[in-house]
Chains A and B, each alone.
Chain A
Amino acid sequence: MTDPTTGWAMRETLPAIPRSVPLVRRAVARLAADAGATGAALEGVRLAVSEAMSNVVVHAYRDRDEPGPVHVGATVTGDRLLVRICDEGCGMGPRLDSPGLGLGLPLIARSVDALDVHHGDAGGTEIRMAFSLSAFSTKSGR
């Protein structure tokens, strides 16, 4: 299947380790800032990307000894920032031993304009997020 991120401004594959979380968050935030995002819109991008990346690091490869890859794509089209984060892990599911508080997805949901989570082509989880880069049309975070 065609890679949906072909031609996107940012396409990276990193190991699903904690250190990758700030790297991706800063890179995507820089893309958003360069496109004019400020204030609550920019903070929403930072938070949602951080949560999505953390989900991959914490959950995707918990059945393996070594962490696998996380594929990140981001691009700006018009007034929208599109971000795609996917892994090749065991897929998202209920987890009784989750180390988190279940805050990640709700925090993502309140930061984005559109959110799509599904099984990816690579067998893991794919999350697609769309953000409005205009502060006026983005949720203020409250």
Chain B
Amino acid sequence: MNGAGEDDVPFVVEVADDQGGTSVTISGELDLSTAPAVVATIDGRADASGGRLVVDLRDVSFMDSAGVRLLMNLDLRARSEGRELVIVRGPGPVADLLDICGIPGRIRTVGDVAEL
């Protein structure tokens, strides 16, 4: 089976530190096959600059419960480090999934980086 297609956006995780904390920008499909790479990338930057942890989902083209579980785990971890996790959710099905699962009631969720 050929899994490639026009929806097969390369999965990319970028981590950047700034004065406010750490930003993690995820692109592509976030599922059971890619969620571990997010954790590994963040772990690779274990210098934990402190401040808030921003996870930007605006370029995530698909997300399922593996992504929700990832966000819950990142939230638990951030809290244990005294940090705040903030999700930038963007529009569309990814935002719908966050709402369905009740994420905005647990984790601060904004629609755009301008709201940070």
Listed in ascending order, the chain A residues whose CB lies under 8 Å from chain B are 12, 14, 18-19, 21-27, 29-30, 43, 46-47, 50-51, 53-54, 57-58, 99-101, 103-104, 107, 110, 141-142
A26, A57, A141: the one contacting B100 at CB < 8 Å is A141
Across the interface, A58 reaches (CB within 8 A) one of B1, B32, B62, B68, namely B32
- Contact: B3 with A23, CB < 8 Å? yes
B31 contacts A107, CB within 8 Å?
Answer: no
CB-based contact A21/B31 at 8 Å: yes
A141, B33: Cβ atoms under 8 Å?
Answer: no
Query: What separation, in Å, do the CA atoms of A54 and B5 have in the docked complex?
Result: 20
> Chain A contacts of B68 at CB under 8 A?
101, 103
- Closest Cβ of chain B: how far from A85's Cβ, in Å? 14
Cβ–Cβ contact B3 & A141, under 8 A: no
B65/A103 in contact, CB under 8 A: yes
Residues of B within 8 A of A54 (CB): 31-32, 64-66
Listed in ascending order, the chain B residues whose CB lies under 8 Å from chain A are 1-5, 7-8, 29, 31-34, 36, 62, 64-66, 68-69, 72, 93, 96-97, 99-101
Closest to B29 in A: A22
* Chain A CB within 10 Å, residue with most, of B4, B64, B72, B96: B64
Give A12 to B1 CA distance when docked, in angstroms: 8
Interface centre among B34, B68, B93 (most CB of A within 10 A): B93
Contact residue among A23, A50, A51 (Cβ-Cβ distance under 8 Å from B1): A23
